[in-house]
Amino acid sequence: MEWLSPWWSTEEQGSHLHETFEGELGLEVGASHAIFGIPVKLIGRHNGCDDALFELRDGTGRVAVVHSTWSKHEERPPWPRTMVYPSLELWADQHMRPEHEDAIEEDANYAYTIGNFDKAFGGFSKLWSLGRPSAARALAEMYLRGEGTAIDAPKAVEAGDGKAAYNLAAIYHSGGHGMPQDLDFSRHFFIVAKRLGCEIDVEPFIS
């Protein structure tokens, strides 16, 4: 399995790291906790917080994400906070990959706010290729404005949604963003916006 940031494998780490995390978990988990009495093995760490991934060595194939308190004593449920997944593969799909995409989006949004359009465009492009809906409109707007890329109206619509098509139609309707006024193109993209489910009423522009 490929590990994606901010998660990383502890497989090549020394025994001290494993003993530290596994020992602390043993101290914190009480008799009423979901994983009490189950042998565990540390297999992954989160780079930005104290979350750790443990293999539950009870023959079920399950894994658990645990946020330890590092109190060095037994905690009351729900602490240490724990999420159990039926398999490592399901954890990767439902937990690691969404967190990975969240991190990319956070970096891309920050890069955009400070004017690093090349980095922002790269981040949103990657997210769009992964099917992240929130990246579509950002990427479309960058194509329209030529931020981090050349102005490319068709790609803006390809990357975007109904609102992106509406914005492009509006630009062609009045002219702007380096594009001349073109009422035929404008009508075409208003129709595309309607087909893509744009909530703004476009009927006055296409009737």
| 199 located within any domain | yes
- Which tens digits make up the pLDDT trace of 105-147? 999 999 999 999 999 999 999 998 887 877 877 888 888 788 9
Is 158 among the domain residues?
yes
Selection from 36, 34, 28, 37 nearest residue 74 by Cα = 28
In a domain, 2, yes or no: no
Note whether residue 39 is domain-resident.
Answer: yes
Identify whether residues 82 and 147 lie together within a single domain.
no
Distance, CA of 19 to CA of 3 (rounded, Å): 22
Tally of domains within the chain: 2
**Residues in Cβ contact with 59 at an 8 Å cutoff, skipping those fewer than 6 apart:** none
The structure tokens 């906790």 sit at: 33
Is 109 part of a structural domain of the chain? no
Q: Report the predicted TM-score, pTM, of the whole model to 2 decimal places.
A: 0.74
| Domain span at 65 | 7-87
CA gap 97, 207 in Å, rounded: 45
20 found inside a domain: yes
The conformation of residue 197, written as its DSSP 8-state character, comes to: T
Q: Give the tens place of pLDDT for each residue, 48-57.
A: 899 999 999 9
In a domain? residue 58: yes
The domain boundary, picked from 87, 116, 151, lies at 87
